[in-house]
Structure 1
Amino acid sequence: MATRAPERAAPPRRPGGKRRLTGRHWRHMVDVKASPYAYVAPFFLLFCAFGLFPIGYTLWVSLHEWTLLDDEHTFVGLENFRVLLADSYFWNATFNTLSIGLLSMLPQLLLALWLAHLLNRPLRAQNFFRITLLLPNVTSVVAVVVIFSQIFGRDFGLINWVITSFGFEGVAWRDGTLSSHVAISTMIMWRWTGYNALILLAAMQAVPRELYEAATIDGASSFTQLRKVTVPMIRPTIAFVVITSTIGSMQIFAEPLLFGAYTLTGGQDRQYQTLSLFFYENYMRLDFGFSSAISWMIFVFILIIAGINYLLTNRMKGSIR
Structure 2
Amino acid sequence: MTVRPTQPAPVAAPTPPDPAPPERADRPGPGAPRTRWRRRLTRLDEKGAPYAYVSPFFLLFGVVGLFPLLYTAWVSLHDWNLIGGQGDFTGLENYRDVLAQPYFWNALRNTVSIFLLSSVPQVVLALLIAAALDSKLRARTFWRMGVLVPYVLAPVAVALVFSDLFGDRFGLFNHVLGTLGVPEIRWHQDTLPSHLAIATMVNFRWTGYNALIFLAAMQAIPRDYYDAALVDGASRLRTLWSITIPQLRPTVIFVVVTSTIGGLQIFDEPRMFDQYGLGGPDKQWQTLTIYLYQLGWTQKNFGRAAAVAWMLFLIIVVFALVNFLLTQRISSKEGKR
What is the TM-score when the length of structure 1 is the normalising length?
Answer: 0.90
3-state DSSP of counterpart to 1:228: helix
C-alpha distance in 1 between matches for 2:51 and 2:243: 42
Q: Does 1:65 align with 2:65?
A: no
What is the 5 A alignment of 1:72-221? 73-221=87-235
C-alpha distance in 2 between matches for 1:122 and 1:81: 55
Q: Does 1:33 align with 2:47?
A: yes
Larger Cα-atom Rg = 2
Q: Which residue identity is paired with 2:147?
A: L
Match of 1:305 among 319, 325, 328: 319
RMSD: 2.0
Which deviations, in whole Å up to 9, do the C-alpha atoms of 1:9-62 show, x marking residues without a partner? xxx9946xxx98612212211221223323333332222222211111111110
Structure 1 position 319, deviation (Å): 4.2
Q: Which residue of 1 aligns with 2:283?
A: 270
Match of 1:290 among 273, 284, 304: 304
C-alpha distance in 2 between matches for 1:206 and 1:270: 46
3-state DSSP of counterpart to 1:75: coil
Q: Which residue of 2 aligns with 1:9?
A: none
Which deviations, in whole Å up to 9, do the C-alpha atoms of 1:142-175 show, x marking residues without a partner? 2111111121111211111111112232111000
C-alpha distance in 1 between matches for 2:324 and 2:85: 44
C-alpha distance in 1 between matches for 2:25 and 2:90: 63
Deviates more, 1:233-242 or 1:170-179: 233-242
Where does the alignment leave 5 or more consecutive residues of structure 2 unmatched? 1-22, 27-31
C-alpha distance in 1 between matches for 2:237 and 2:181: 36
C-alpha distance in 1 between matches for 2:332 and 2:86: 54
Deviates more, 1:307-316 or 1:171-180: 307-316
Deviates more, 1:46-55 or 1:208-217: 46-55
Specify whether residues 208 and 319 from structure 1 end up closer, same or farther in structure 2 by C-alpha distance, changes over 3 A only.
farther
Structure 1 position 130, deviation (Å): 0.7
Structure 1 position 125, deviation (Å): 1.1
Is the 1:233–1:320 Cα contact (8 Å) retained in structure 2? no
Is the 2:163–2:274 Cα contact (8 Å) retained in structure 1? no
Deviates more, 1:28-37 or 1:119-128: 28-37
Which deviations, in whole Å up to 9, do the C-alpha atoms of 1:59-93 show, x marking residues without a partner? 11101111123365111111111111121111110
3-state DSSP of counterpart to 1:65: coil
Q: Which residue identity is paired with 1:144?
A: V
| Percent identity between the two aligned chains | 50
C-alpha distance in 1 between matches for 2:254 and 2:86: 45
Q: How many residues are matched?
A: 307
3-state DSSP of counterpart to 1:69: coil
Which deviations, in whole Å up to 9, do the C-alpha atoms of 1:222-268 show, x marking residues without a partner? 1111111111121221122122111101111110111021422x011
3-state DSSP of counterpart to 1:292: helix
C-alpha distance in 2 between matches for 1:13 and 1:120: 72
Structure 1 position 212, deviation (Å): 0.9
Q: Which residue identity is paired with 2:109?
A: F
Is the 2:82–2:302 Cα contact (8 Å) retained in structure 1? yes
Match of 1:247 among 254, 261, 271: 261
Is the 1:236–1:313 Cα contact (8 Å) retained in structure 2? no
What is the TM-score when the length of structure 2 is the normalising length?
Answer: 0.86
